[in-house]
Amino acid sequence: MLKTMRQLLFLSLAFTLVTACKKDTEDPVPPTPPPAGNEQELITTLILTFTDAENPSETFELRWSDPDGDGGNDPVITGDILPQNRAYSMAVRVLDESGSSPVELTNEIAAEKEEHQFFFLPSNVNLTFFYADQDANGNPVGLANTAIAGGPSLGSLTVILRHEPNKAGAGVASGDPTNAGGDTDIEVTLPVRVD
């Protein structure tokens, strides 16, 4: 009789475990979605405005625009001629012009200064850049800058915007992106001439 009771208890326990396992597979708990990351804004337009330090009414503009994004029409790139041997204040403006009305992204970058930094890399052109703005930690951002045009030259300027760069990396504070890391929000090359 004791043997029969043990068998019944074992069968009852086994049945309960099988039923419980079956129920778990029939009613699974939905997985928790991962937390949303920082969504990258679509940047379709980058404008660099150079204002002569001694004559503020004199401005020059470099522009890159690709409103239909990657894979559509080629971007429209406009260069300019900067008068030589002058100092300029240089402001950066960033837009999303993919929709019916432009979305100003410059203010968003300004609000998240600690998470962004522009880099300006001239090639074969006598231009030197200095940051004129900083984030709350004293690190450069690059929305406001000083540019010095030297002697006559013709070349290009590559502009890179990094998201969450390592601003403490070697050379990063002086404008070298080599050790910056982070994600590239935009990288464009613009023609520029100093004359």
| pLDDT tens sequence across 133-157 | 999 999 999 999 999 999 999 999 9
Is 31 inside a domain boundary? no
Mean pLDDT of 32-53: 74
Higher pLDDT, residue 150 or 29: 150
User: Of 81, 137, 145, 135, which Cα lies nearest the Cα of 110?
Assistant: 135
> What is the band of 32 on the pLDDT scale with cuts at 50, 70, 90?
very low
Residue type present at position 167: K
- How, if at all, do strands 183-194 and 80-82 pair? parallel
38 occurs within a structural domain: no
DSSP characters for 33-101? PPPP--PPPPP-EEEEEEEESS-TT-EEEEEEE-TT-TTSSPPEEE-EEEPSSEEEEEEEEEEE-SSSS
Token pair for 51: 């204002």
Whether 117 is in a domain gets the answer: yes
Q: Give me the numbers of helices (H) and strands (E) for the chain, helices first please.
A: 2, 11
| Domain assignment present for 185 | yes
Give domain status of residue 180, yes or no. Answer: yes
The answer, yes or no, to whether residue 188 has pLDDT greater than 60, is yes
Burial class (CB in 10 A: 0-12, 13-18, 19+), 191: middle
pLDDT at 195 over 50: yes
Give the pTM.
0.79
Which pLDDT band, with edges at 50, 70 and 90, does 39 fall under?
low
The string of pLDDT tens digits covering residues 79-112 is 999 999 999 999 999 999 988 899 999 999 999 9
Please report whether residue 84 resides in a domain. yes
In a domain, 10, yes or no: no
Residue 71 pLDDT > 90: no
User: What is the mean pLDDT of the segment spanning 45-73?
Assistant: 93
Q: What pLDDT was estimated at residue 140?
A: 98
Rg of the chain over Cα atoms, rounded to whole angstroms, equals 29
Higher confidence at residue 95 or residue 70? 95
Residue 161 burial by Cβ neighbours in a 10 Å radius (0-12, 13-18, 19+): buried
pLDDT confidence of residue 166: 98
Boundaries of domain holding 149: 45-194
Domain total for the chain? 1
Question: Does the structure show a pLDDT above 60 at 179?
Answer: yes
CB-neighbour burial class of residue 29 (10 A; exposed 0-12, middle 13-18, buried 19+): exposed
Report the percent of the chain where pLDDT is more than 90.
73
Asked whether residue 149 is assigned to any structural domain, the reply reads: yes
pLDDT of residue 3: 46
